[in-house]
Each structure stands twice: as C-alpha cells, then as structure tokens.
Amino acid sequence: MRGAMFVQAYGDAARGLIGLAVFAAVLELLPRIGVVSHVYFPPISAIVVALVHEAGRAAFWVSLFLTLRSWAVGLAIAVIAGTGVGLFIGSFETLRRLTASTIELLRPIPSVALIPLVVLLYGSTIRSTLVLVVYASVWQVLIQVLYGVQDVDPVARQTAVSFRFGRWGQLRHVVWPTTLPYLMTGIRLAAAVALILTITSELIIGAPGLGKQIALAQSGGAVATMYAYVLVTGLIGVAVNLVARVLERRVMHWHPSVRPSMHRARTP
C-alpha cells in the first residue's frame, strides 16, 4: 500500500517535471519564432543568464535577505498575535460574540488599501512592509484559531473536567491540540499572504527587497533581469508552501486527515 503510494507520488512528480519542461520550452520558443515580442518577453534562457549574473552581485543577496526577513518577522508577529488573541477570545463565549462583527468588518479590508497610511506614517521603510504584512496575515491565523477553539469536542472537554483539569490544563491538553491543525492551516495561508504583501510593499512603496529590485530593473529597461527577480519570488513562494505543508503533516500526524487509514473510523 505504502509502495503503491510511493510509486504514485513519484509518478506525479515526474509528470509535473515533464509539464514544467514543456512549459519552459514553449516560453523559450515563442519569443524566438517571433510570436511575442522579444523585448517584453525575452526567452527563458536569457532570463536564466540574467539570474546567474544577478546572483553574482551583493545587491541580489541583500535584497533576498531583506525580503525573507520582512516576510519571516511579519509572519511571526502575525502568528503569535493571531494565536494569542484567538485563544483568548475563543475561550470566552461572550467575548467571541462581541468581537465577531468587528472581525468580520476589519478582515475584508485589503491590506494594500493601507499603503497610503503606512507611507504617511513610516515612509519607504521596512516598518511599512511589516505593518502591511502583519495586517494581511494576522486574520488568516486569527480566524483559523477561532474555528479551532470552537471545534473542541464536548466529550473531550467533559473528560478533562471530570478528571479535574484546571483552566490551564484544559487549554494546554484539550483546546491547544484541537486548535493546532487549524493553526497550521492558518499559518500556511498566512505565509502565502505575507509573501505577497512583502513583495507588493517593496514594489510599490520602494521598501528595500526583491520587490524594489523588480521595480528598479523595470525602470532601467533590464527586462530579463526583471523576470529573473520575478522568478526568484515565485520560487520562494513554492518553497514556502512546501515547507508549510511538510510542517503541517508533521504536527498533525494523529489527525484523521493525515494518519494512515485504519480498519476503523474515529467515531463509532
């Protein structure tokens, strides 16, 4: 069974790689045979050459570092704040009801709508980036944590109460493990959103990082270089998603959605 899954996973990966290779070949060919403009759509080989060139410059690595740092710091703040606030609000039914409408009102505000505000406050700095990233990603975490706290099984809770677990004991051993899978989903979503906002902020506000490099390359007419940076941001996105998924499966090894199927379902 495991073997079959393994072969299947391998097959999927192989097919995925073939698909990518075909896609790259098309991107290489289209500008070369003149279907699209050579100027705006350089062939992929030119982009790779530009990327290799950039990788030789310190500015590239500094930008990469700054982008990753903004992303990681913003995400960390969002995760910690979202988890703390979510656990707290979720623990008190009245508080949850009181705050529900406020959350529903604030959550849909697109983070980019706050760009004028943060520029006024902090200018083209990493601080601006952080504010946007935190604002965008904190909701993903908060909402998931609130769902998780709601999902605590009443029988599990009664069991804990019947064995005289205190408030902290219940939080630590019942609420937290139930919430964790939701939190992991929240983190995965937040990680993607945080990356988008990091790049957006660098691109539009001009805070230092890969986004700013994209803008610089564009204004300097270095089209291949611009694409090279775009490619790098894409690769970061893929890596972030991959890591988040691995982490998720690890933390949730016991969860019905992850654990190997048994002869018996969880509920009788």
Partner 1 sequence: MIEDRNAATAQGRPTLLDVDAVKMVYSSAHRTVEALGGVRFTVGDGEFVCIVGPSGAGKTTLLKCISGLLRPTGGTVRLEGTEVKAPPQAMALVFQDYARSLFPWMTVEANVELPLKQAGMARRQRRDLISSALADVGLTDVGSAYPWQLSGGMQQRVAIARAIAYRPRILVMDEPFAAVDAQTRADLEDLVRDLWHKLGVTVLFVTHDIDEAIYLGERVLALSASPTVVMDDIAIDLPDARDQIGTRSLSRFGELRKELYGQIQRARHTSG
**Residues of this chain that bind partner 1 (CB under 8 A):** 153, 155-156, 158-159, 161-166, 169, 173-174, 177, 180, 254-256, 259, 262-264, 266-268
Burial (CB count <10 Å: 0-12, 13-18, 19+), residue 189 = middle
Task: Reduce the secondary structure of 159-193 to three states and give it as a string.
Answer: HHHHCCCCHHHHHHHHHHHHHHHHHHHHHHHHHHH
Q: CA-CA distance, 138 to 257, in Å (whole number)?
A: 25
Helices (H), 206-252: 210-219, 223-251
- The smaller minimum CB distance to partner 1, of residues 92 and 254, is found at 254
- The smaller minimum CB distance to partner 1, of residues 19 and 256, is found at 256
Smallest gap from residue 266 Cβ to partner 1 (A): 5
- The smaller minimum CB distance to partner 1, of residues 117 and 161, is found at 161
Which residues fall within 8 angstroms of residue 139, CB to CB, at 6 or more apart? 82, 103, 106, 107
Smallest gap from residue 247 Cβ to partner 1 (A): 16
Which residues fall within 8 angstroms of residue 32, CB to CB, at 6 or more apart? 43
Q: CA-CA distance, 132 to 71, in Å (whole number)?
A: 10
- Dump the DSSP string for 104-134: HHHTTS-GGGGHHHHHHHH-SSHHHHHHHHH
Rg (CA), the chain: 23
Smallest gap from residue 163 Cβ to partner 1 (A): 4
- The smaller minimum CB distance to partner 1, of residues 58 and 167, is found at 167
- The smaller minimum CB distance to partner 1, of residues 107 and 259, is found at 259
Picking from 119, 138, 235, 243, the residue whose alpha carbon sits closest to that of residue 183 is 138
Smallest gap from residue 62 Cβ to partner 1 (A): 42
- The smaller minimum CB distance to partner 1, of residues 58 and 265, is found at 265
- The smaller minimum CB distance to partner 1, of residues 48 and 252, is found at 252
Smallest gap from residue 156 Cβ to partner 1 (A): 6
Smallest gap from residue 151 Cβ to partner 1 (A): 12
Smallest gap from residue 262 Cβ to partner 1 (A): 6
Q: Are 180 and 145 a contacting pair, CB within 8 Å?
A: no
